[in-house]
Amino acid sequence: MSMTTQTASDLVIRVKEKFQQVFGDSATLTVRSPGRVNLIGEHTDYNHGFVLPAAVDKAIYMVVSRRSDDEVHLFSFDLDKAYTCSLNEIVPSGLHWPDYLLGVVQQLQALGLSPGGFNCVFGGEIPLGAGLSSSAALECATAFSLNELFGLGLDTLTMVKLSQKAENVFVGVQCGIMDQFASMFGRKGQVIRLDCQSLEYTYFPFRTEGIRIVLLDTQVKHSLASSEYNTRRQQCEAGVKLVQQHHPEVKSLRDVDAAMLSAYVAPADEVIYRRCSYVVEENARLLAATEDLLRGDIAAFGRQLYGSHEGLSKKYEVSCPELDFLVEKVRDREGVIGARMMGGGFGGCTINLVKDEAIDGLVEWITPLYRKAMDKELKAYIGQIEDGTSLV
């Protein structure tokens, strides 16, 4: 398991060497920006609720230096590809990967700041598109690097917001703020309770001694994901409208309780009722889960994860057979403390809290079971909670 740190420092060395080789320049700055997990609080962000993310020990490493002209020279270590453009014309590259960096440059310019020309090499160990938010890590790495390199004087929250906006506006993905927030604000051994309504945040201790986060990647992404996501958002809004007829002060599901749902939504629409109940319950579950952490009761915390999965699967209906299979199988497995699907649903990973000594056995046991049942190869990522974006 100490392999993780070994690999990370190897990667930093190799990215630095690549920088030297590509740019022949050693006056550099190196930044580490991690991926994230969300322990509980799914589909709550757009309902002005709570999420409970943490940064992990898988990161992007970015090496940068100033240039004397106004050019931007980017090099992807993992793809072994370069991209160059001028600061005076920051437009989508047509290549996808440079856009995460260029989007941040554009947002800095939109704030009236003038980062200068720079050289950049970056490489990462965050699996792409697996739900660990490699994209947010890349944006946050860029914002942090340029802030340091040009002394822009930005505070962390501003960098979070502009990184999110880069993804929204430049890459064209309508993500919420959680991913960038967790990558930047993460702290070793702690989870962040983020209030998506006020952006207030609180750290809670996550005693990870002897416990790791294991992500089991279904390796599927069902095509329903984006249309169903939009439908869920509409159903939640429809629920809010029904309550508003009696409580005009209600603005989102954050202001709604179970009694209001039974009184005004249940009689009108059974499906909308189930969707809204899930969201209201998930917020309550998350708050209870943070109490569990304060008491140091990781077993109780784990049960909240199963509760979350149950709600996502049965009431919110965003799971799929692969995710349900993985959660059901681990439920009675020795050493597994909790599990649920993570992310928007219809594929992606389950997040599992597993005792160290049980991890190898778990992965060896479930991989062939999954193959047999689903005819697909499972992937497992093992991690723990680490600090957010920082200088190396």
Dihedral sign for Cα 140, 146, 147, 148, please: positive
Number of residues that bind Mg ion (CB under 5 A): 2
Q: Which is nearer to ligand ADP, 85 or 288 (CB)?
A: 85
Question: Following DSSP, what letter does each residue of 264-283 receive, concatenated?
Answer: IITTT-HHHHHHHHHHHHHH
- Mark residues 7-46: x for contact with ligand ADP by CB under 6 A, - for none: ----------------------------------------
Residue in 38, 47, 106, 134 binding ligand ADP, rule: CB under 6 A: 134
Residue in 34, 49, 124, 383 binding ligand ADP, rule: CB under 6 A: 124
Q: What is the closest distance, in whole angstroms, from the C-beta atom of residue 9 to ligand ADP in the complex?
A: 17
DSSP H helical segments within the chain, as ranges? Answer: 3-23, 97-110, 134-149, 156-165, 178-185, 225-244, 258-260, 270-295, 298-310, 321-330, 356-374
Strand partners, 167: none
Taking residue 15's Cβ as centre, other Cβ atoms within 10 Å add up to 22
| By the rule CB under 5 A, 304 interacts with Mg ion | no
Catalytic position from the list 45, 57, 99, 179: 179
**Out of ligand ADP, Mg ion, none, which partner does residue 95 contact, by CB within 5 to 8 A per kind?**
none
Comparing every residue's Cβ against ligand ADP, the nearest one is 124
| By the rule CB under 5 A, 180 interacts with Mg ion | no
Q: Which two tokens stand for residue 22?
A: 């590509």
The burial class, CB within 10 Å (0-12 / 13-18 / 19+), for 12 is middle
The CA-CA-CA angle for residues 108, 110, 112, to 5°, reads 80
**Out of ligand ADP, Mg ion, none, which partner does residue 78 contact, by CB within 5 to 8 A per kind?**
ligand ADP
Q: What is the closest distance, in whole angstroms, from the C-beta atom of residue 232 to Mg ion in the complex?
A: 19
Helices 270-295 and 298-310 cross at an angle (nearest 10°) of 170
Q: Which two tokens stand for residue 213?
A: 């986060």
387 has catalytic annotation: no
Options 66-74, 125-133, 150-158, 293-301: segment touching ligand ADP (CB under 6 A): 125-133
Options 134-142, 201-209, 265-273, 361-369: segment touching ligand ADP (CB under 6 A): 134-142
**Out of ligand ADP, Mg ion, none, which partner does residue 373 contact, by CB within 5 to 8 A per kind?**
none
| By the rule CB under 6 A, 135 interacts with ligand ADP | yes
Q: How far from 268 is each of 145, 241, 264, CA to CA, in Å?
A: 52, 11, 7
Helices 134-149 and 178-185 cross at an angle (nearest 10°) of 50
| By the rule CB under 6 A, 131 interacts with ligand ADP | yes
Q: Which is nearer to Mg ion, 129 or 210 (CB)?
A: 129
Binding to ligand ADP in span 75-114, by CB under 6 A: 76, 78-79, 96-97, 100
**Out of ligand ADP, Mg ion, none, which partner does residue 325 contact, by CB within 5 to 8 A per kind?**
none
Q: How far from 229 is each of 77, 235, 316, CA to CA, in Å?
A: 34, 10, 10
Dihedral sign for Cα 172, 157, 35, 306, please: negative
Binding to Mg ion in span 124-153, by CB under 5 A: 133, 135
Instruction: Please report, as ranges, the residues that interact with Mg ion according to CB under 5 A.
Output: 133, 135
Instruction: Please report, as ranges, the residues that interact with ligand ADP according to CB under 6 A.
Output: 60, 76, 78-79, 96-97, 100, 123-124, 128-135, 138
Active site residues: 179
